Amino acid sequence: MRRVVGALRSPAVKWAFLAIALAFAVWFVARNWTGISTALRDMPAWTLGASLGASVVYVALTLVAWRTILKDLGHPLGLGPSTALFGLSQLGKYIPGGVWNIAAAADLGLAHRIPARRSVAAMSVAVLISMVSGVAVGAVGFLVAPTPALAEWAWVMWFGVPLLVLLLPPVMNRLLALVWRAMRLAPLDTSFSTAGIGAATLWSVLAWIAAGLSVGFLAVGLGAPLTAATWVQSTGGYALAWVAGFVVVFAPAGAGVREVVLAAALAGALPAAAAVALVLVSRVLLTVVDLCLAGAGVLVARAERRRLGAP
* Span 65-110, pLDDT tens digits: 999 998 998 888 888 788 878 877 777 666 655 566 677 777 777 7
**Of the listed ranges 26-40, 254-268, 269-283, 292-306, the one predicted with least confidence:** 26-40
Instruction: Give me the sign of the Cα torsion angle 301, 306, 307, 310.
Output: positive
- Apex CA 99: angle with CA 94 and CA 101, to 5°? 55
Helices (runs of H) and strands (runs of E) counted in the chain: 13, 0
Instruction: Give me the sign of the Cα torsion angle 56, 31, 269, 246.
Output: negative
Residue 278 CB contacts under 8 Å (≥ 6 apart), including other chains? 39, 215, 218, 219, 222, 262, 263, 266, 270
**Mind listing the pLDDT tens digit for each residue in 11-66?**
555 555 556 655 655 665 566 566 666 666 778 889 989 999 999 999 999 999 99
Where does the pLDDT of residue 5 fall: very low under 50, low under 70, confident under 90, or very high at 90 and above?
very low
Distances (CA, A) of 189 to 118, 126, 180: 9, 19, 12
Q: Is the model more confident about 286 or about 160?
A: 286
Please name the residue ranges forming H helices in 110-222. Answer: 116-144, 155-160, 169-182, 194-221
pLDDT value of position 15: 53
Domain boundaries, given as residue ranges, for the chain: 2-308
Instruction: Give me the sign of the Cα torsion angle 168, 174, 178, 183.
Output: positive
pLDDT value of position 1: 47
pLDDT value of position 169: 86
pLDDT value of position 3: 52
The yes-or-no verdict on residue 207 having pLDDT over 90 is yes
**Mind listing the pLDDT tens digit for each residue in 130-152?**
988 998 888 888 888 777 767 66
Q: Is the model more confident about 197 or about 277?
A: 197
Where does the pLDDT of residue 307 fall: very low under 50, low under 70, confident under 90, or very high at 90 and above?
low
- How high is the mean pLDDT of the chain? 77
Q: What whole-number distance in Å separates Cα of residue 231 and Cα of residue 269?
A: 10
pLDDT value of position 251: 45
Put residue 223 in one of left, alpha, beta given phi > 0 → left and psi -120 to 50 → alpha: left
Give me the mean pLDDT over the 113-139 stretch. 85
**Of the listed ranges 33-47, 110-124, 207-221, 229-243, the one predicted with least confidence:** 33-47
pLDDT value of position 206: 96
Highest mean pLDDT among 77-81, 91-95, 156-160, 180-184: 77-81
**pLDDT over 90 for what percent of the chain?**
16
Q: Is the model more confident about 39 or about 292?
A: 292
